[in-house]
Structure 1
Amino acid sequence: MSSGFYLYGILPAPLAETVRLEGLDKAPVQSQVIDGFNFLYSEAKQEKYLTSRRNLLCHEKVLEQVMNEGFPNLLPLRFGLVVKDWEAVTNNLINPYKEKLEHLFVKLSGQREVSVKVFWNSNSEMQGLLVSNPSLKQKRDMLEGKTLRMEEVIEIGKLIEEGLQLRKEEVINTFRNELDILAEEVIENDTMTEEMIYNAAYLIPWDSEANFSEKVEAIDQKFGDRLRIRYNNFTAPYTFAQLE
């Protein structure tokens, strides 16, 4: 029994009938035209979908397959969006946001979203800091084995923290200086773990990805083993398709 429609995204044109995609609950993916907007959907078998790895991957796979079918500038919708009927889509999405949706299609035309996440090992960086700063290392070594006053603990901790921050800024500024000029728009997101030091999304011309990738590779080689870089060159443009 259907619980309505599960929505994946909005296309600038209808999905070809020859395209065969499998969505959540193995339901066939289709497109529905409403007021000029083409909604990618499958029949929902549940009123609410669990945010599981399997379901999330299925949602993303549908979007990626559609992008490969010639719709790179689709507008992705958040995971778990189930509507009872198409009237709800008209009332809650199209009527209040029609102009913004049209603007997003123009903005994303010929563009793609790529992302860069940068990780380091804070313990290794601290050792590198001490090696590159003999006076700081000497000061820290002189305090080892001693009973320290609180102000001494605070002082050495502050010096190390400031040194690590400078090293972090050196890395981040390298990415900004090398990559920002290649992008139409850049959004820096919050880091998600203690070891992640940079997290950014870039909106770049679709055919310039190879050059962008080479720049990321060059930065990776520059810093060597200090960094782990996670580069995603093919993803639905969630970051740059925000309505608000």
Structure 2
Amino acid sequence: MRLLDARSPKVHTESDVTQYLYCVLRCREPRTFDTLGIGERGDIVHTINVGDLAVAASNSPLPRYDNTRRNMMAHMRVLDEVMTEYTVLPIRFDCVAPSPKTVREQLLKARHKELSALLDQMEGRIEMGLKAFWYEDIVFQEIVQKNPTIRRMRDGLAGRSLEETYYDRIRLGELVEAELKARRGRDAETILERLRPLAEKTQVNPTIADHMVLNAALLIARTREQEFNAAVRSLDSDIGGRLLIKSVGPVAPYNFVNVSMRWAT
């Protein structure tokens, strides 16, 4: 557990100003954190407490925030610190409340039962991100070697002009795309069937690049983190020659719970 330096504690005096919210946690006593808040103003990250629940927040210089890399990283850095000590429920990026009182009344009190149940579900659990990418030269070589139709069409383009082969190239591209789609499904399932037994929940998200095979998040018990990392290393040893596998975590469970609010005026 990381403790604040007792020689120079951060002191936060609550004021009736807009609050940027990061996450919900169980915490009875008001406290502050080392990481500074979003907005590059040096705002102290503090808790807004009601009973056994709290929200990690900071005074907000703006009414809303664009999802720039700088802002997103500021949001995530706060969660990274808080989750080293607490189970957290991430709050959706760009959640700004009119005042601490609003947070207490409309979130912590009004949704106490719901938030407590979600914290119970996330207790002792972490999210691990997993991404896999083909080495493009290797996968295209596999396709040409194993698909005679694609191989014949590719060979048939040699020595012919772009104008002459225009429609053949379109057709070849369609065949390659279909083959990649089929392979993506098979390769993704090969990876997931090795890791699913370690996870309580799995979220498969859309791939965001042509050479991306898998973009997934797995919710696992914190006590199984080393076992999960060992399984990823074993997987990389088996298929790493044709796939780059990246594991990221532990992180807050963004893919499995995300608190959002619309404040009543």
In 1: Cα distance, 2:171 partner to 2:227 partner: 45
Matched, 1:117 2:147: no
State the Cα distance separating 1:200 from its structure 2 match.
Answer: 0.8
In 1: Cα distance, 2:119 partner to 2:242 partner: 39
In 2: Cα distance, 1:47 partner to 1:34 partner: 24
| Aligned partner letter, 2:119 | F
Aligned partner of residue 65 in structure 2, secondary structure = coil
* Greater Cα shift, 208-217 or 156-165: 156-165
In 2: Cα distance, 1:80 partner to 1:139 partner: 51
* Greater Cα shift, 219-228 or 39-48: 219-228
Please tell me whether the aligned partners of residues 23 and 79 of structure 2 are also in contact (alpha carbons under 8 angstroms). yes
Please tell me whether the aligned partners of residues 3 and 47 of structure 1 are also in contact (alpha carbons under 8 angstroms). no
- In the alignment, structure 2 segments of 5+ residues that lack a partner are 1-14, 261-265
Change (3 A) 1:45 1:243: closer
Going by fraction, where is helix more abundant, 1 or 2? 1
Please tell me whether the aligned partners of residues 2 and 45 of structure 1 are also in contact (alpha carbons under 8 angstroms). no
Q: Percent identity?
A: 29
In 2: Cα distance, 1:170 partner to 1:209 partner: 26
Please tell me whether the aligned partners of residues 119 and 198 of structure 1 are also in contact (alpha carbons under 8 angstroms). yes
What is residue 141 of structure 1 aligned with on the other side? 155
Aligned partner of residue 128 in structure 1, secondary structure = helix
Change (3 A) 1:3 1:45: farther
State the Cα distance separating 1:31 from its structure 2 match.
Answer: 0.7
Please tell me whether the aligned partners of residues 3 and 46 of structure 1 are also in contact (alpha carbons under 8 angstroms). no
What is residue 3 of structure 2 aligned with on the other side? none
Please tell me whether the aligned partners of residues 21 and 91 of structure 2 are also in contact (alpha carbons under 8 angstroms). yes
| Aligned partner letter, 2:77 | K
Cα RMSD over matched residues? 2.8
Q: 1:200 aligns with which of 213, 216, 238?
A: 216
* Greater Cα shift, 157-166 or 109-118: 157-166
Q: 1:100 aligns with which of 85, 99, 114?
A: 114
Please tell me whether the aligned partners of residues 118 and 199 of structure 1 are also in contact (alpha carbons under 8 angstroms). yes
* Greater Cα shift, 200-209 or 11-20: 11-20
Q: TM-score, with normalisation over the residues of structure 2?
A: 0.78
What is residue 187 of structure 1 aligned with on the other side? 203
What is residue 77 of structure 1 aligned with on the other side? 91
Please tell me whether the aligned partners of residues 116 and 229 of structure 1 are also in contact (alpha carbons under 8 angstroms). yes
State the Cα distance separating 1:114 from its structure 2 match.
Answer: 0.7
In 1: Cα distance, 2:59 partner to 2:165 partner: 67
Please tell me whether the aligned partners of residues 133 and 244 of structure 2 are also in contact (alpha carbons under 8 angstroms). yes
State the Cα distance separating 1:106 from its structure 2 match.
Answer: 0.9
| Aligned partner letter, 1:197 | V
- Encode CA deviations 1:22-68: one digit per residue, 9 max, x unaligned: 22221111111135420111111222234332222222111111112
Please tell me whether the aligned partners of residues 30 and 49 of structure 2 are also in contact (alpha carbons under 8 angstroms). no
What is residue 86 of structure 1 aligned with on the other side? 100
Matched, 1:173 2:184: no
Aligned partner of residue 29 in structure 1, secondary structure = strand
In 2: Cα distance, 1:171 partner to 1:98 partner: 42
In 2: Cα distance, 1:18 partner to 1:141 partner: 66
